Copies of this chain bind each other. A is one copy, B any other.
Amino acid sequence: MGFKRKERIAIITKILVDNPNKIFRLQYFTDKFDSAKSTISEDIDIIKNLINEMQMGKIITIVGASGGVKYIPFLEKNEMKELLEDISTKLNEKSRLIPGGMVYALDILYNPNYLKKIAKIFSAYYYDKNIDYVLTVETKGIPLATMTAEVLNVPLVVVRDENKLTEGSTIGISYTSGSTGRVKTMYVSKNSIRKNSNILVIDDFLRLGGTSLGMQNIVKELDSVVVGMCFLIEIDNGKEKMIDDYIALIKMVENDDKKFDTSVNWETLNKI
């Protein structure tokens, strides 16, 4: 069956958007549509110009023998602004305060609409940094890390706070929890990360950074390196963080009365 240009364009767009950061060779589409390479190249140029101009993401074409095309999800600037102001307003609601100096945020952390958009923001910083794995620690940050891994098209790795049979052989390291000051142990499956990998750490909250420092150390044990750390929310309680060089989209400043002033971290966002 023959396809018209508008039909090929719809199908190519569908496949690219459905598979973020995956390279498709031109051959894949010439086979699918039984079309000439030049025809498919023109189709892709139309899609590329459109998506790029409308800031709906980035279509990149790679030339050469192993060349092809891939789609990199981005969030439009005004959508980013709207999203983070929405989250920030929600987190300021007094009804969210939990005794113990915490804020209820599960409705945000477990909402796929928010998660996908936040993941797209993280991707804007790291899509071209050759990330091999997204790493997080159980539990609340796993959905956000999953969506980030999907957007970047890399496997997810989850650090556990107990040694579980299903992990196979594990490596365990001790770390100091920033919030409680207690020494704990975290574990990761030895099989989960290849040597010499680039790791992106993703988590929901950054308090003092003890857990993140632990993740950096456990990654070192696996002969790999953390190239970036992204958090949705950072809590500023006046104490110095145990890590630096991280990205946090929203800042919660803790008051004397254990309440928070929440705002968007525009300084970080302007770096994209």
Name which residue of chain B comes closest to A54, CB basis.
Answer: B11
Name which residue of chain B comes closest to A179, CB basis.
Answer: B165
* Binary contact readout A9-44 vs B (1 if CB under 8 angstroms, 0 otherwise): 111011101100000000000000000000000000
A107:B14 contact, CB within 8 angstroms: no
Q: Which of A61-69, A83-91, A142-150, A250-258 contacts B (4 or more CB under 8 A)?
A: A142-150
CA distance A158 to B51 in the complex (A): 35
A2 interfacial contact with B, CB 8 Å: no
Band of interface residues on A: 35 or more
Give the Cβ gap from A48 to chain B, nearest Cβ, in Å: 10
Give the Cβ gap from A215 to chain B, nearest Cβ, in Å: 15
A80 interfacial contact with B, CB 8 Å: no
Of B47, B157, B166, the residue contacting A98 (CB under 8 A) is B166
A-B contact pairs, 19 of them (CB 8 A): A9-B10, A10-B13, A10-B50, A10-B51, A14-B56, A14-B57, A98-B166, A102-B165, A104-B189, A106-B168, A106-B192, A107-B155, A107-B191, A110-B158, A112-B146, A112-B150, A113-B153, A139-B160, A142-B143
Given A7-B46, A14-B17, A111-B156, 8 extra CB contacts under 8 A:
A6-B9, A99-B165, A102-B166, A106-B191, A110-B157, A110-B158, A115-B150, A142-B146
